[in-house]
Amino acid sequence: MLERKVVRLTAGSAVLGLVLAAGVVTLAGPWDSGQRTAERARAAAQAPASGADHGAPGPARPAPRPPAPAPSAAGVLAALTAPGTRAAREPAAPPPRALSATLGPLFGDPGLGPLRTASVIDATTGKQLYGSGAATPMTPASTIKIATAAAALSALGPDHRIPTTVVATADARRVFLVGGGDPTLDPARLAALAADTARALRARGVTSVQLAYDTSRYTGPERHPIGVNDNIAPVTALMTGEGRLDGSTSGPAPRSADPAGDTARTFAGLLAKQGVTPGKPPARARAPKKATPLATTRSLPLSALVERALTYSDNDIAEALARQTAIAAGRPASFAGAARAVEERLRELGVPLNGARFADGSGLDRRDRVSAALLTSLLAEAADPSRPQLRPVLTGLPVGGFSGTLADRYPDGSPGAGLVRAKTGTLTGVNTLAGTVVTADGRLLAFAFLAGRTASADGAQSALDRLAAALTG
């Protein structure tokens, strides 16, 4: 085992990078890995418009010394920051014939079921190196989050923050808590918003109000078509902590049936603690168009939300990203409006959309359809130096054996550990994997493997992992 690790490290393995990442994770923030922070630091140094700064704005101060990139970061970022366009650079990727000989037997694994498609491209040139049914639309499960994230970043930019606001009538006697669609609003920010609101009301000489809450930013059904499910809360413009009832921050959890009402009632209690009587229990109502702003809190930048959605396959954030894309396009922020807005935005990116269908933003809906070629094209767009706003699509991908939904796959010492970065997708009978790898000679490849009618999730995932790991050789 030791000899195997030495060989892998000599070939450029990221195992040492994982150690470095663990050492700086406390500096990276609760939704970060040190490895991704290091990569963004280097990317930001060469592409300052990347929007990778996830910190809150504050007074000017000397720029901190960026952390050293993890060993794996250099290989990943080389393709992203080299001068010139993708088309101008000479490809140095594995020959398609050799790659076919390597992947062909693995792609034939019966664990992948009878429906399977694949696409592997050179992320620098966009050249297809391996494909099997690459243009065939398939149910993508959560790999559709790559498309959702790319659309949102393209529409809004990585620095966009989702607001939650408090407004009042002219006499400040009626106050409205207005949701902007931030599913990550947490108790601390809600408490700070209440304190700011109370301060603004006291400045107007008001200590008694009638509180209401406004969720009109979103339209259409709040329930996802899958119904009540621990994987997603009702999709509403106002909620706290994704409506989770168990204090968790990722994965399935019991959800509130009324996250907007719960948030408003909590806010009313917080106002009372600040000396402002909130009146009767808050009811849902639309705020006046000319209401007076009292206080605002904003989410982390969209780049951080995208990373969270991809790393932990966060369905609530993914649906919020889709609706924010709809709002930016002037479309209704509903499942249907978001689907149209995402497709329109991707069409502007020039990626192949034949047969694509975006029934939701999270991939929980089995009516979703995307092709392997669409996913690899999006990953290549995110690697394009001319599109730095899309970079979080890459930096948010889980790292094999280390982070997010790949933390328990690619155990230490196995092929692909620390080198495979990919979005997972899992529904009953559907298993998918799409992401990037760095080859032994430092070339960045994008891949997508989609499998349908699989008999065993474990068998399918193992087959997918072997396919991705083989690309690193």
Question: What letters, b where the CB count within 10 A reaches 16 and e where it falls short, cover 152-187?
Answer: bbbbbebebbbebbbbbbeebebbbbbbbbbbbbee
Contact between residue 313 and residue 195 where contact means Cβ atoms under 8 Å apart: no
Full-model pTM: 0.83
Pairing of strands 128-132, 421-427: unpaired
Is the Cα torsion angle 436, 350, 353, 360 positive or negative in sign?
A: positive
Pairing of strands 292-298, 421-427: unpaired
Report the percent of the chain where pLDDT is more than 70: 80
pLDDT recorded at residue 202: 97
pLDDT recorded at residue 93: 65
Which tens digit of pLDDT belongs to each residue from 423-467?
Answer: 999 999 999 999 999 988 889 999 999 999 999 999 999 999 999
Residue 232's beta-bridge partner residues? 229
Which tens digit of pLDDT belongs to each residue from 337-372?
Answer: 999 999 999 999 999 999 999 999 999 999 999 999
Give the closest residue to 214 by CA, choosing from 152, 260, 272.
260
Fold of 163-299: D-tyrosyl-trna(Tyr) Deacylase; Chain: A; (3.50.80)
Domain boundaries, the chain: 2-54+65-81, 96-158+303-470, 163-299
| 259-273 vs 187-203: helix crossing angle, rounded to 10 | 50
Give the closest residue to 292 by CA, choosing from 167, 398, 391.
167
Contact between residue 150 and residue 325 where contact means Cβ atoms under 8 Å apart: no
Report the percent of the chain where pLDDT is more than 90: 77
Region 95-116: what's the mean pLDDT?
Answer: 92
What separation in angstroms does the CA of 96 have from each of 3, 101, 345, 473? 30, 9, 31, 14
- Per annotation, catalytic residue among 313, 334, 371, 403: 313
Active site residue 142: yes
Q: How far apart are the first and last CA of the chain?
A: 17
pLDDT recorded at residue 80: 52
Which tens digit of pLDDT belongs to each residue from 296-349?
Answer: 999 999 999 999 999 999 999 999 999 999 999 999 999 999 999 999 999 999
Q: 98 pLDDT band (50/70/90 cuts)?
A: confident
Contact between residue 80 and residue 391 where contact means Cβ atoms under 8 Å apart: yes
Contact between residue 138 and residue 450 where contact means Cβ atoms under 8 Å apart: yes
The CATH code of the domain at 96-158+303-470 is 3.40.710.10
Active site residue 313: yes
Active site residue 377: no
pLDDT recorded at residue 8: 34
- Per annotation, catalytic residue among 50, 72, 142, 377: 142
Q: Which amino acid, 168?
A: A
- Does the structure show a pLDDT above 90 at 278? yes
* 3-state SS assignment for residue 409: coil
Contact between residue 18 and residue 402 where contact means Cβ atoms under 8 Å apart: yes
- Does the structure show a pLDDT above 60 at 103? yes
Give the Cα separation of 435 and 433 in Å (integer). 7
Give the Cα separation of 62 and 82 in Å (integer). 27
What separation in angstroms does the CA of 40 have from each of 50, 388, 390, 409, 460? 8, 11, 12, 24, 32
Region 139-157: what's the mean pLDDT?
Answer: 98
- Per annotation, catalytic residue among 13, 119, 145, 334: 145
